[in-house]
Amino acid sequence: MPGFLSAHGYDPGPTQRPILAGLAAGLVATAPGTAILLLFHAIRVEAAIVDRPAAVTLVGGCVVMSLAGAGYGRLFQRAANERRGGWLFGMAFGFLLWAAGAVMVLPLVSGGLAPGGRPAMGMLLALLAWGTALGASFPFIHRRLHLTLRAGVEAPGEIGPDAAAFGKKQFEQRPSSARAKV
């Protein structure tokens, strides 16, 4: 039961930062996705469809995929921390983005243009690879954020529910009976 609650239980607290971890993991995951887009020449096709230079399309795509990683962190929250199955959550999320973005939104904003053939396959594979890398890297990035948060902690009340409810000074000013071991 504790394993289930740790993965699917309570909403993450203010010190858990799933959105920031998702933002960082989304940026890290752009590397394999970009490699596949370049391999399948999908960047040039995307740039032609949105009528922007390829470099602008690539940078814009990295920004959008980082924000999508933040959405992944917000959507899956604690479930995204699953080390064994996170890659599967990520791959499913990548597929969802491909279905929503490349299949529905891109033709709507471009007047009906959509990639076809090899570039279309590249976009699908790139988003699946991005999602897999996002889901696989999220738990490790999220754990590093926890470590940096705990490194500066001096008093036990600076972590957990007391940290959200009380500041450090307020924690120290509470009677010792209220400051039972946290």
| Global confidence as pTM | 0.71
- Residues 135-166 have pLDDT tens digits of 999 998 888 876 555 555 555 555 555 555 55
Please, which pLDDT band fits residue 134 given cuts at 50, 70 and 90? very high
| Cα(54)–Cα(23) distance, integer angstroms | 23
Between CA 71 and CA 75 the distance in angstroms is 6
Long-range contacts of 154-157 (CB under 8 A, 24+ apart): 156/181, 156/182, 157/182
Residue 106 one-letter amino acid:
L
30-39 and 42-50 helices, crossing angle to 10°: 90
Q: For 25-74, how does the pLDDT look when each residue is reduced to its tens digit (9 = 90+)? A: 999 999 999 999 999 999 999 899 988 999 999 999 999 999 999 999 98
Mean pLDDT of the chain, nearest integer: 80
Q: Does 177 score more than 80 pLDDT?
A: no
